[in-house]
Amino acid sequence: MHFEGTFDVKAPRQKVWDFISVPNNVAKCLPDLQKLEVLAPDRFKATVKAGVGFIKGTFNFEFAMLDMQPPTHAKLSGHGSGTGSTVDLETAIDLSDLPDGGTRMAWKADAKVGGLIASVGQRLLEGAAQKLVGNLFACLKKQLEG
């Protein structure tokens, strides 16, 4: 599955970078996060309660931040498993200045889902992912602009 979009926030690019490049900051905006363990500045583990349709459970993810080019570009790679399912995620984020002093975040994400959770169908998975992304960006906006 492929997702992409843009998100504008009324905060300078450096402030946005400083916030999103720290896993503990972003963790505040992850719904159903059960546990976060920072292994290194660019690696962390997360335990998340998740579900789509009738398949619900706990997923354990390991993430690595790659290709960091402060304060404009980063990639995040992750692998998770749980409830008889696997999820592989690759995300790229690019930050640019807006004329009003704000920041535009352009993002792309590719997810590969396998096992039980893949059986619920792509339409349900895409809907759940879009809802998660929407909630994440609403929270980021509140944290950065508040």
Q: What is the rounded CA–CA span in Å between residue 117 and residue 18?
A: 34
Give pLDDT tens digits for 19-29: 999 999 999 99
Decide: pTM greater than 0.75.
yes
Boundaries of every domain in the chain: 2-75+83-89+99-145
Give pLDDT tens digits for 38-53: 999 899 999 999 877 7
Q: What is the pLDDT of residue 117?
A: 84
CATH class of the domain comprising 2-75+83-89+99-145: alpha beta
